[in-house]
A and B are shown apart, each in its own frame.
Chain A
Amino acid sequence: MERSGNETDRRLDGNAAGGLLAEAFCVEMTTAVVVCAGCGAEAVVAELLRYGHEMGAILRCAGCDTAVVRIARTGDRLWLDLRGAVNLRVSAAP
């Protein structure tokens, strides 16, 4: 297994962050709705742009590039920074 440090080649979208987000929230998160703190746009997490890195991912607003969700893992701890989200709405359906 080779190690490539290339970060720019991993721009995908929030779909790909579903596994990591499920670690933090324990529910399906790609269908959650967020309101961007930068521009007020509403988006489904799956539609955010994902910039992956070795520790986790940054999910950015497709409209204004604000980092809406930052999630990273260090050892056995998950770090979640939601300063870029006004709110986050998760389905509460059973």
Chain B
Amino acid sequence: MVELETAVVGQPRRLPWLAATVAAKIPETPEATTVLFDVPGWPGHRPGQHVDVRLTAEDGYQAQRSYSIASPPEASQLALTVQRLGDGEVSPYLTDEVRPGDLIELRGPIGGYFTWTVADGGPLLLVAGGSGVAPLMAMVRHRAAAGGGPPATLLYSSRSWDEIIFRDELAGLVVADDGLAVVHTLTRSQPPGWTGYGRRVDAAMLGEVFGPPTAGAVAYACGPTPLVERAATDLLALGYAPDRIRTERFGPSGG
């Protein structure tokens, strides 16, 4: 009977909490760390989706946060890239405290709006601010794992050169793939000899980097709320269709 009811209503799913084992930690920048998890029973995900992470203290107090998945569906381990927030409840634990072998609870994948696969086509336009690059990195990695796909351009705003998450990996992907472009803007400090952008994302920058809308173009912006809203507004003004611009406000909040 249970099976019959399930068949009738499609795929109801109360997302179960899964036990995830910390497999490794990768320092990315002074403030961001990638935590790799082995998650038995993980059902797979689409690039752009996130998980809820739940921590339980010894006295039963629980704290829960959402983190975007940075790994592509093709990867065997789930990667969460976490920006350490000094007054946060959860992020300092993930960046500083957890060790390989530790267990945490997570559930997912969550989200059907801010997702992209190569089957969705392109050109793919990505705007990232800080650790908001994580879900966009899942898209870039998925595109590479799939052997290319539509042209993709990532405009990535960081405070400084040292705070660019995935800097070397992105550079390597660009070298290996004519269809991928990555443009950095450094908003607070620039290294000597820097010839790239040195200001916050604005309409002129979006126009220069992405050009006018082309057929099939789809844009994803993820980062702090001001950057995301600015990018969405400016892309609309440049002529991009509202239903082809997807946004995710990613902190620096949330802890």
**A interface residue numbers (CB < 8 A to B):** 1-4, 6, 9-16, 18-19, 22-23, 26-28, 30-31, 44-47, 49, 52, 92, 94
Contacts and interface: CB of A to CB of B under 8 A. Distances in A.
Contact of A27 (B12, B57, B93, B254): B12
Nearest to B59: A1
Q: Is the interface of B mostly helix, strand, loop or mixed?
A: loop
20 contacts: A1-B55, A6-B87, A9-B254, A12-B66, A12-B249, A15-B66, A15-B111, A16-B66, A18-B111, A19-B51, A22-B13, A22-B14, A22-B110, A26-B14, A27-B12, A28-B111, A30-B113, A30-B114, A44-B113, A94-B10
Secondary structure dominating the interface of A: mixed
A47 B172 CA distance: 33
B25 to A, nearest CB: 18
Contacts of B254: 9-10, 12, 16, 52
A12 to B, nearest CB: 5
Contact of B113 (A19, A46, A94): A46
Contacts of B111: 15, 18, 28, 30, 46
